[in-house]
C-alpha cells in the first residue's frame, strides 16, 4: 500500500512542510506501530511529549491521565488564545495490513487515523515553534480516549479550559474515499449524539415443547426489536434524523429450552436535544409496553454518551478560510455543506464549552475507517499540517 507518491496533493501546502514529508511519515509510522486504546496511551503520550519538548514547548501532562497540552506564545505579543486538538487512541482491532509498520500489539491498531492526526499537529507545532510569527497563544491539545470512552469530556471536567483559557478550539479528522485533499464540513450539527442501551427481557423459562408454561423472552425480545423501529418511522418528524439500532441479542443455551431472559444491546443516534429526549422517552415506553403485553418485564439501561458535534458559525467560517488557503483554487477543494454523519465524535464536548469548528480532510481511495485493512495516507500529512499553520496565521496574524 503506497500513499506517499500521490500526485494529487493539494497545491496550497507550505513548502517547508512538504519538504519534511518523509520525516513526518517516519513519525506517523512509529506511532502506528505502537497502538494503545482508551486511557492507556502511555507510550504514545511519551513519544508525543518528547517531540514537543524537542521543539522547546512547555508541556502540561496528566489531563485525563495520558492527555497533554503544549503551549506556544507568539512572537508578536499578546493576542487571542486558540486550541488545536488531535486524538491519540487506537482501536481493539486485529490489523490485517501486514505493512512493515503494522501494529506491534495483537488485537489493537490505529484503524481511524489518530496516528496521522497526532503527526499533523506535531508537524504544525514544530513549524510554528521555529517561527512563531503571530500575536497570541496556541495550545496544542493531544487527547486520549476518543473512541467510545469520552476522553474529551474527561479533559474538560479536569479543567482543560480553566487551565488553558481559549477563545476557540478546532479539530480535524481524515476522511477516506473522498477526493484527496478536499476539506469537508458544515455549520451546525455535523456528527450525531451517541447513546447506548441494554435491555434485559425477563420471562419464565420452560420446555420448548410446552411454551404455554412459560413466558417467552425470545419472542418478546423479537417484538421489542421490531417495534423499536416505529420510533424513527412514526415518532420522529420526517424533517429530523434519528437512528435506533439493535446490534446484539443474547439468550438461550440449547435447542429445546425457552430461557428465562434475553439481553438486547444497541445504539441510538440523534442531532438535536429535542429528538434525543423524544427517542429515549419512546424507547422506554416501547420496551416496557411490549414486555408488559407479553407478561414479561424489562430492566433498561439507557446511557447518554457523546453529545452531537455542533460547529459554531463564526469559527466554522474561519476554518473554511484556512481550508481554502490550504487547498488552493481547485474546484471542489472545500465542501461547506457536507452531509451530516450519524457517527459520533467526542470533540463535541469541547465544542459545548468553547466556540470552535471541526473539519474532515479527505484522503482519497482506500479502506474505510475502523477497518482492519485501513492505513493513514501519509501524503495527507503536509496538507493537514499546513491547514493548522494557515489557521493559526489567519486567526492570530491578521493583515496589517
Q: What is the set of active-site residues?
A: 89, 146
Q: How far apart are CA 83 and CA 70, in angstroms?
A: 10
DSSP state of 354: S
Helix (H, G, I), strand (E, B) or coil at 295: coil
Cell numbers given for 287: 420496551
The answer to whether 263 and 248 are in contact (CB under 8 A) is yes
Q: What are the φ/ψ torsions at residue 88 (nearest 5 degrees)?
A: -120, -20
Closest of 279, 273, 292, 291 to residue 245, by C-alpha: 279
Which distant-in-sequence residues (6+ apart) come within 8 Å of 67 by Cβ? 45, 61, 88, 141, 142, 143, 144, 151, 154, 155
Q: How far is CA 3 from the centre of its chain?
A: 23
**Which residues lie closer than 8 Å to 346 by C-beta, 6 or more apart?**
145, 146, 150, 151, 152, 153, 306
Taken in order 15, 16, 17, 20, the sign of the CA dihedral is positive
Please name which of 121, 150, 149 lies closest in space to residue 55, comparing C-alpha atoms: 121
Let me know: does 220 contact 203? Beta carbons within 8 Å. yes
Q: What is the dihedral of CA 37, 40, 41, 43, to 10 degrees?
A: -120
Amino acid at each position: 500500500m503506497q500513499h506517499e507518491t500521490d500526485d494529487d496533493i493539494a497545491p496550497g501546502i507550505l513548502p517547508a512542510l512538504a519538504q519534511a514529508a518523509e520525516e513526518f511519515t517516519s513519525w506517523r509510522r512509529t506511532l502506528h506501530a505502537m497502538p494503545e486504546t482508551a486511557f492507556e496511551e502511555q507510550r504514545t503520550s511519551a513519544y508525543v511529549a518528547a517531540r514537543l519538548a524537542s521543539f522547546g514547548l512547555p508541556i502540561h501532562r496528566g489531563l485525563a491521565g495520558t492527555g497533554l497540552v503544549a503551549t506556544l506564545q507568539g512572537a508578536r505579543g499578546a493576542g487571542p488564545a486558540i486550541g488545536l486538538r488531535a486524538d491519540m487512541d487506537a482501536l481493539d482491532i486485529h490489523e490485517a495490513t501486514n505493512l512493515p509498520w503494522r501494529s506491534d500489539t495483537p488485537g489493537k491498531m490505529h484503524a481511524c487515523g489518530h496516528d496521522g492526526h497526532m503527526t499533523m499537529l506535531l508537524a504544525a507545532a514544530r513549524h510554528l515553534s521555529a517561527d512563531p510569527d503571530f500575536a497570541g497563544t496556541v495550545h496544542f491539545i493531544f487527547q486520549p480516549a476518543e473512541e467510545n470512552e469520552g476522553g474529551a469530556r474527561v479533559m474538560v471536567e479536569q479543567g482543560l479550559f480553566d487551565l488553558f483559557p481559549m477563545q476557540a478550539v478546532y479539530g480535524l479528522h481524515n476522511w477516506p474515499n473522498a477526493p484527496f485533499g478536499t476539506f469537508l464540513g458544515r455549520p451546525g450539527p455535523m456528527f450525531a449524539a451517541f447513546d447506548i442501551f441494554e435491555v434485559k427481557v425477563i420471562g419464565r423459562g420452560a420446555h420448548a415443547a410446552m411454551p404455554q408454561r412459560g413466558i417467552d423472552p425470545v419472542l418478546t425480545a423479537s417484538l421489542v426489536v421490531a417495534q423499536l423501529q416505529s420510533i424513527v418511522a412514526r415518532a420522529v418528524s420526517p424533517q429530523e434524523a434519528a437512528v435506533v439500532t439493535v446490534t446484539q441479542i443474547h439468550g438461550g443455551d440449547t435447542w429445546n429450552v425457552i430461557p428465562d431472559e434475553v439481553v438486547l444491546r444497541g445504539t441510538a443516534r440523534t442531532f438535536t436535544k429535542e429528538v434525543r429526549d423524544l427517542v429515549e422517552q419512546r424507547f422506554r415506553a416501547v420496551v416496557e409496553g411490549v414486555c408488559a403485553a407479553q407478561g414479561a418485564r424489562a430492566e433498561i439501561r439507557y446511557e447518554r454518551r457523546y453529545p452531537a458535534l455542533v460547529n459554531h458559525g463564526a469559527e466554522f467560517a474561519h476554518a473554511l478560510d484556512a481550508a481554502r488557503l490550504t487547498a488552493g483554487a481547485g474546484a471542489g477543494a472545500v465542501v461547506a455543506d457536507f452531509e451530516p454523519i450519524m457517527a459520533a465524535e467526542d470533540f463535541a464536548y469541547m465544542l459545548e464549552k468553547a466556540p470552535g469548528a471541526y473539519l474532515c480532510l479527505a484522503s482519497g481511495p482506500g479502506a474505510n475507517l475502523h477497518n482492519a485493512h485501513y492505513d493513514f495516507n501519509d501524503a495527507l500529512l503536509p496538507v493537514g499540517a499546513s491547514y493548522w499553520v494557515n489557521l493559526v496565521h489567519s486567526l492570530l496574524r491578521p493583515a496589517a
